[in-house]
Chain A
């Protein structure tokens, strides 16, 4: 009992340290002053208007959406193949190959980005959104594989055999039984890889070659003090969107569990 107050204050300090800066974001985004400092000056929405009137920002948002949607789609698709194959089938060199798929999780991204840049330039590939997408898929696929592996592992093998036994083909079994049952995993993989891609900076900076991309754009804007309030407005929007995505992912995960009556093994929220 005597240790409880210590642990409690530790927990409070920890949470404050983690979230207070993020709470500052909307505070100054609605503050009627170019200078980010207390005391607050009054309520305004001008920073949101100023932010949105910037043509570069809109291009960056558009580009980032293209990158993130493509990345999430590709990484999740690749993740489905890899996870399904590693869970269900035995093939030579599986451990090694799965290890290499997961390796980008721990490789320094900076090094990978540099290496990719050198290779791409030396074989004469024009840097574009496409090269950024390639980099992001590399970074995001391990996350997709990790999420989807647990989804496929939760699947009873005899469900597939039962469908086959009842006359379905391999493909219709996949479509009618496997896919619906791993759908919550696919959705959360999609949302998480999307989120990772949206705020990824290193690959976007190295492989984007000056194309306006949201993370790179924000980094650039911070050099101009006058632009900071509208970046805080942008940040506020991104935080809100991230939280919404997370809630959405959790909603689908729980609905999937409720629909199949499986045991809840803990999610994000």
Chain B
């Protein structure tokens, strides 16, 4: 993990807009060649942070290093970074070819060489043969590809992507996510993506920094982030998390003994308890898919708890149930894959729910 060199480093980056404290001490490193995402709700400072890399935003204090060099000494137009803008920023008065080749203008290449490189870049994003088209006549997905080709043709060290998929419809977005991952593997450039879509971040990233109110709440790989969130806020932002109030009986190096409402007493391993004290009281969280409904004749591999079905949401491949566990005031959400021989339960049905203490996350 640590054999990769650092491409971008933030050292206690602070940014004020007048009185507004937009970035509150960001310290983090982005490794060379990784697909890194800045994830957070709107207004959390993720775009501002991205723009400090591009050089469109000055920082109030701290430092941003790009490939070991202090970025403050490099003006925006000389940084080894290129950006794909949220609006794509395709130059509307130029053709696709002229857009893609725009960054090469200063290199004063021979016409054939320029044509060859533009052609290569267009082929790479699947727009071969579109060169002569007027840029404004393209569809959203095509503009997105032109913007990618235009940024990648300069072979930057870092490609910055500012919510590049948010303007596309769902199908197109999912397709572009996969294409971007493939493209990133192919070119081997460090990608830094800004997104508010947790699913997009999980699908695409090697590592994700979750940001709230100008601070990084957690920086981890997608699986760790999903399975062992450090705070309730991160847990709620990424996917769905059920919470049950808990009382900590003992807390040690091997884990914690807790009394959980509705589930009883259980041991939570230390790896499943990454959080520090929040002052809000302890609770235990678990993902919907870690609970399973037990049908007649099935027995739990670990533990089971009785409950009543409150709500049924049918999604075709999945069904979501809100189940009121006996002895708990608020229902928990669980998801079941729909397979033959597993009927969808009715509202008010009594059921048994299987769970495992290994899937619980303790928030102190």
Contacts and interface: CB of A to CB of B under 8 A. Distances in A.
Interface in B82-131: 82-83, 85-87, 89, 91-93, 102-103, 105-106
A161 B83 contact: yes
Interface in A158-188: 158-159, 161-169, 177, 180-181
Nearest to A183: B93
B137 A261 contact: yes
A259 B89 contact: no
Nearest to B102: A166
A82 to B, nearest CB: 24
A165 B137 contact: no
A162 B91 CA distance: 9
A54 interface: no
A260 B103 contact: no
A136 B103 CA distance: 43
B28 interface: no
Contacts of B56: 161, 164-165
A79 to B, nearest CB: 21
Interface residues of A, number: 19
A168 B104 CA distance: 10
Contact of A260 (B87, B102, B136): B136
A156 interface: yes
A164 B103 CA distance: 9
Contacts of A167: 77-78, 103, 105-106, 154
Nearest to B79: A165
Interface in B56-88: 56, 76-78, 81-83, 85-87
A166 B93 contact: no
B294 interface: no
Interface core residue of B92, B103, B134, B151 (most chain A CB under 10 Å): B92
Given A261-B136, A261-B137, A164 B91 contact: no
B91 to A, nearest CB: 6
A159 B89 CA distance: 5
A262 B87 CA distance: 14
B54 interface: yes
Contacts of A168: 77, 105-106
Interface in B197-222: none
The 10 closest A-B pairs by CB, nearest first: A261-B136, A166-B103, A162-B89, A260-B92, A158-B89, A158-B85, A165-B83, A164-B77, A159-B89, A180-B93
